[in-house]
Structure 1
Amino acid sequence: MKDQAYEAGLAVRRRILGDAHVKRSLENATTFDEDFQDLVTRHAWGDIWTRPGLDHRTRSLITIALLASGGCHDELKLHVRATRNTGATADEVKEVLLQVAVYAGVPAANSAFRIAKSVLEEMAKEDAR
C-alpha cells in the first residue's frame, strides 16, 4: 500500500535522482528487491529527505560525504550526478571530499575524488552538447 510518506518520497527521489533513474529502479525491481525499493522510497526519501531541517543541497553534500566515507562507490556516482538537481557545486563536492580525507581517511577520499572527477567530467561534456 502506497501512503503519503511513500508518495512524498517518490516525488523527492525523482526530483533529486531524475525520473529516468527512479523509473528504471522501480521497473527493474523483482519480488526479491521490491520491498527494498519500497523501504528506500518511503524511509530515506519520504521520511528523511522531506524533512524541513535541511535543504536538499545540504542533504546532498552530507550524503556524498557518507557514501565516500563508506566506500559506497555506485551510490556515490549517483549522488554526485544528482548535484545537478540539488544545486551543490563541484567546488562544494571537492570541499566535502577534503573533509572526508581528514575524518574518514585518505584512501576513501582518494577513491571518491577519482569517482567524482569522472562523473563531473561526464556531466560537463553532456552540458557542452
Structure 2
Amino acid sequence: MTRPAGVGSSDKGRYDQGMTVRRAVLGDTHVDRSVANTSELTADFQDFITRVAWGDVWSRPGLDRRSRSVAVITSLIAHGHHEELAMHLRAGLRNGLTVEEIKEVILQSAIYSGVPAANTAFRIAAEVFAEP
C-alpha cells in the first residue's frame, strides 16, 4: 500500500510538503501574504493548515489537483465561504480548470446547493475572471 505524502512523516516534513503544494495551488503571492500576516494568534492555525490541509490531504495520491479543485469549489459554494471561493477559483485556474469547466461546476451547484448560492458564486467568479 502506498503511503500518501506526509503520512508518517515528521511534522517538519509534512509542513515542507504542505508549503510546496500550498504555493503550487495558491501561488507565491497569496502564501507570502498569509505568512507575513501570521500573528501570535494565528501561528498555530497557519502551521495546522499547512501540515494537515496541504501536507496531508492535498498531497494524497487519490485525486489530481484539478479534481480536488472541483471538490473544494463545490463545497465552498455550498457553505457560502465567499472569500475562500474567490481564492480557490484562482487556484482552480492554476490547477488547469478552464473558465468553462468552472462555469459548469457552479451551474451544477445550483441544483444541489441552491440557486442563490450559485448566483453569488457566478458574481464572485465574474470578479475573479476579470482580474488582470
Could you say whether these structures have the same fold, taking a TM-score greater than 0.5 normalized by the shorter chain as the test? yes
Structure 2 contact 93–99 (Cα < 8 Å) conserved: no
Q: Distance in 2 between matches of 1:22 and 1:82?
A: 12
Cα RMSD for the two superposed structures? 1.2
- Among the aligned pairs, what percent are the same residue? 52
TM-superposed deviation, 1:70? 0.7
* The one of 97, 103, 116 aligned to 1:88: 97
Task: Quote the residue 1:44 is aligned against.
Answer: 53
TM-superposed deviation, 1:80? 0.7
**Number of equivalenced pairs:** 123
TM-superposed deviation, 1:3? 1.4
| 5+ residue gaps, structure 1 | none
* The one of 116, 122, 125 aligned to 1:107: 116
Tell me which stretches of 4 or more aligned residues in structure 1 moved more than 2 Å.
Answer: none
Change (3 A) 1:63 1:37: same
Task: Quote the residue 1:60 is aligned against.
Answer: 69
Larger helix proportion of the pair: 1
TM-superposed deviation, 1:85? 1.6
Q: Distance in 1 between matches of 2:18 and 2:64?
A: 15
| 5+ residue gaps, structure 2 | 1-9
Task: Quote the residue 2:5 is aligned against.
Answer: none
TM-score by length of 2: 0.89
Task: Quote the residue 1:118 is aligned against.
Answer: 127
